[in-house]
Structure 1
Amino acid sequence: MIEIISSTALCTVQDIGRLTSRRYGVGTAGAMDQVSLAAANLMLGNAENSACIEIPMFPFKVRFIQDCDFSVAGVEGTMTLDNGVLPTGWAYQAKAGQLLSIQRPKAGCRAYFALGGGIDVPVVLGSRSTQLRGEFGGLEGRMLQTGDVLNAVTALNDRRLDFGITSALSALALERENQIELRVIPAAEYDAYRAETQALFWRTAWKITPQSNRYGYRLQGADIRPEQPLETLSHGIVPGVIQIPPGGQPIIQLRDAQPTGGYPKFGTVIEADLWRLGQAAIGKQLVFKEVSLEQARLAAQQNQSYLDDIKQMLALQEIFV
């Protein structure tokens, strides 16, 4: 059990999300960086999909009301437990009364704070994720605030907890001259754009604007317009779809996006790279690389290998402790 002592804006309870509810008009919600959410859970022996606290702004402070296992993954930086300093990407056991403070990170922009067994909030439509627009899921469908108390499903287990992991930011690094590289598959309306416009999209460095959030990242860069004015009926979209509104500046749909939209679909960021967007701060530059479906599958396997390595490390630790 923990009490929120200091919470910045947009901290929410998230798991993998509502993956089967789009047909009812319900967006997925869920962690922006699902690789790090899974890593934080694996460190505690939780199911990968267990609910964590997603922290996009810092510092974030909690007090442990009882002895409790915890871990933090995602960002690279430091945190303090009372007067002791720990790196992020670490699992530990806190004692009742101790205060944890997660500091502003050196790399990445979202931390995932896990408790033993996961954060215990009600399941709504198959998920514990917070859907802010619909005001349901998580804790009362809202952002966390000072004074909130949250329970762990299983506060303590028999594991030895005092170890760390390499972050996905380092283990799965994919940058080009300090720009985050995202792999993209062309989408339905791609051929409505001239070849030179397509080439312009791929070679542009796109800046994430302050108008970005969990619903979508609005980008600033080159002017991308179709050969002829293009109108489409609203149709199904998923997180990762890159739409081009009439103004010519792309929007990448993300975890809280609505399940339908009418803007032309230029491409789709592959599922394996969506976690990179979750760790991309406002003002960061993105570059896109066209890939095939097979390359997208291989990228997903690389992500899974990262998580499998964590599982193997924990298995070895149990043998030798």
Structure 2
Amino acid sequence: MAASAGLTVLRPGMLASVQDLGRPGHRQLGICPGGALDTLALTLANRLVGNPDGAAGLELTMGSCEIRFETATRIAIAGDDFGAALDGVALWPCWSVPVAAGQVLKLAGANRSTLKAGLRTWLAVAGGIDVPVILGSRSTDLKAGFGGHQGRALKKGDRLMLGAPLLDAQRLSRRPFGVRGPDASPDGDDRATVLRVMAGPEFEQFTIASREALWRGPWRITPQSNRMGSRLEGFELKTRRAADMLSSGVIPGTIQVPPSGQPIILMGDAQTTGGYPRIGVVIRADLWKLAQAPLNGRLRLQQVESAAALAAWDERQRYLAQVAQGLVSAGWMAPAQNLAEGEHDAD
């Protein structure tokens, strides 16, 4: 079954782009893995429309977008709640719904008083977004200008094709259903998002006061944040002595501290090497929380060791396995259909 006319972007919002689970294995070329900043959300949305985990979807930033579907299909959204509605009917996160040709999906803006102030959500469509595969991925590298749809963010009037769905016509039109999504609600009286962090390679080079302040917080996510990194504002972190540092490899989650003393948590589109001291690294299991944390929102960093980081990742994988088991039991997904996230760990 060939690709079909898919959808038209009527309003892209602040930033919308085609993303899949990323482009690993090319760091030696200076190419970042990129991909959806919240792979958990994209994986959930894909499973809810019968796609492999690695199918390309849309990453939508701060809502305020409209999309018209040109063919009958099925969609699911996972991530922040921007009051999505399909022809005026509410569409809840982590729900799978059928769509008729001509229907319009609208997402409200992030500043709606009735919603929590979020940042990003992910849309999956049955069959996936059909754009060229470049270096093993359909993701948009916005910094380098390739991949996705013409290597750029989506604009008003863009038309995207869809791949052939794995679902038959009966399952495509099945009544809506949903699953329990992960809880990204802020914790504590200060409504801060808590991220678990391991000490970085240069942790001991910082002053005692700076090391203590890293965990004490809270930190504010500044509006200068983007897909390359979340810039934080708070206590000025200082090293014990000024010293030049050779550039070293960095990964998403690395917390670098530039001369300003205000840390930056690197995200999916960050550079592959950096010359700032690395005071910590957010554990992989918590990066999805950072992807959804709102601008001007508060963060608290909680120190953990490697055993806790591995246990957190195992817990995340168990959650995805439970979702898959439920979908298999409901006859929605074949037992071996999904492409496990672990197959994208080669980077």
Which of 291, 294, 307 is the matching residue for 1:294?
307
Residue in 2 that maps onto 1:230: 243
Q: Structure 1 residues 221 and 83, CA, compared in 2 at 3 Å: closer, same or farther? A: closer
Aligned residue identity for 1:128:
R
Counterpart Cα distance in 2 of 1:68 and 1:289: 42
* Root mean square deviation of aligned Cα: 1.6
Is 1:123 aligned with 2:133?
A: yes
Query: Cα deviations across residues 195-254 of structure 1 (Å, max 9, x unaligned)?
Result: 332112110100001111111111100011011013211111111100111111101111
Counterpart Cα distance in 2 of 1:164 and 1:109: 22
Counterpart Cα distance in 2 of 1:153 and 1:144: 18
Unmatched 5+ residue regions in structure 2?
Answer: 1-5, 333-347
Counterpart Cα distance in 1 of 2:245 and 2:330: 55
Which of 50, 58, 73 is the matching residue for 1:53?
58
Deviation at 1:155, TM superposition (A): 4.4
After TM superposition, the structure 1 stretch with the greater mean CA deviation from structure 2, 221-230 or 187-196, is 187-196
Give the number of equivalent residue pairs. 317
Deviation at 1:77, TM superposition (A): 4.6
Is 1:162 aligned with 2:173?
A: no
Q: Is the 8 A contact 2:63 2:120 kept in 1?
A: no
Q: Structure 1 residues 46 and 240, CA, compared in 2 at 3 Å: closer, same or farther? A: same
Which aligned segments of 4 or more residues in structure 1 are displaced greater than 3 angstroms? Answer: none
Deviation at 1:57, TM superposition (A): 2.2
Q: Is the 8 A contact 2:257 2:277 kept in 1?
A: yes
Q: Is the 8 A contact 1:68 1:156 kept in 2?
A: no
Q: Structure 1 residues 161 and 233, CA, compared in 2 at 3 Å: closer, same or farther? A: farther
Counterpart Cα distance in 2 of 1:169 and 1:154: 32
Q: Structure 1 residues 254 and 19, CA, compared in 2 at 3 Å: closer, same or farther? A: same
SS of the counterpart of 1:59? strand
1:1-321 correspondence runs (5 A): 1-104=6-109, 106-107=115-116, 108-155=118-165, 157-158=167-168, 159=171, 160-169=174-183, 175-177=187-189, 178-318=191-331
Q: Percent identity?
A: 38
Unmatched 5+ residue regions in structure 1?
Answer: none
Deviation at 1:166, TM superposition (A): 2.3
Deviation at 1:33, TM superposition (A): 0.9
Counterpart Cα distance in 2 of 1:69 and 1:80: 14
Q: Is the 8 A contact 1:217 1:254 kept in 2?
A: yes
After TM superposition, the structure 1 stretch with the greater mean CA deviation from structure 2, 72-81 or 153-162, is 153-162
After TM superposition, the structure 1 stretch with the greater mean CA deviation from structure 2, 303-312 or 135-144, is 303-312
Q: Structure 1 residues 157 and 14, CA, compared in 2 at 3 Å: closer, same or farther? A: same
Aligned residue identity for 1:111:
T
TM-score, normalising length: structure 1: 0.94
Counterpart Cα distance in 1 of 2:62 and 2:55: 21
Deviation at 1:268, TM superposition (A): 0.4
TM-score, normalising length: structure 2: 0.87
Deviation at 1:161, TM superposition (A): 4.7
SS of the counterpart of 1:304? helix
